[in-house]
Structure 1
Amino acid sequence: MTVADEKTLEILFTEARSQNGWTDQVVTDAELQEAYDIAKWGPTSMNIQPFRVVFLRSLEAKERLKPALKPGNVEEYVCMHTHPDGMWTDPCGVLSR
């Protein structure tokens, strides 16, 4: 069995945080694919992978997804807009609350 070094343990258990903010940086399809490829190998329950991901690039795609959202997520979802260059904005300030 390999034992992780102290820095690795710190990154995993004391420094890691959930993402809850956004930037105006464009995320490429290659970056999305890389993030998905890493995430799909995460631990599972009973050797199943309930992980489902949808990457949306257009307002039309977002509108098709809206009916599937939980009521508590609709305001954030509706307020997040995308520009043709792929940059997201938060005109309602939902994410800064």
Structure 2
Amino acid sequence: MTTTPSGLQYEDTVPGSGETARAGQQVTVHYTGWLHDPKAPKGRGRKFDSSKDRDDPFDFALGDGMVIKGWDEGVQGMQVGGTRVLTIPPELGYGAHG
């Protein structure tokens, strides 16, 4: 697990082999959002959203502020075909009260 200066943590669980995502690019991702629960396996509490469950990937312009700050920071550097787990602190997500 890597921790950035902002407090974001990430781990590439499946390395990609394609193009590297950079700010300003349009990216398409599948995601599953879990509430953090330190007592739960892998820290995953209740699932609150999933593009995989809907079979509907999400498109956004990386680094343009269209998504939470944790995504703008955490998706940069991923490679096409990869899977990355992000642990996003409240200040880079939806705030302390979510």
- TM-score of the aligned structures, taking structure 2 as reference length: 0.25
Query: Higher relative contact order at CA 8 Å, sep ≥6: structure 1 or structure 2?
Result: 2
Give the structure with higher Rg (CA). 1
Could you say which structure has the higher strand fraction?
2
Structure with greater helix share of residues = 1
Task: Give TM-score scaled by structure 1 length.
Answer: 0.25
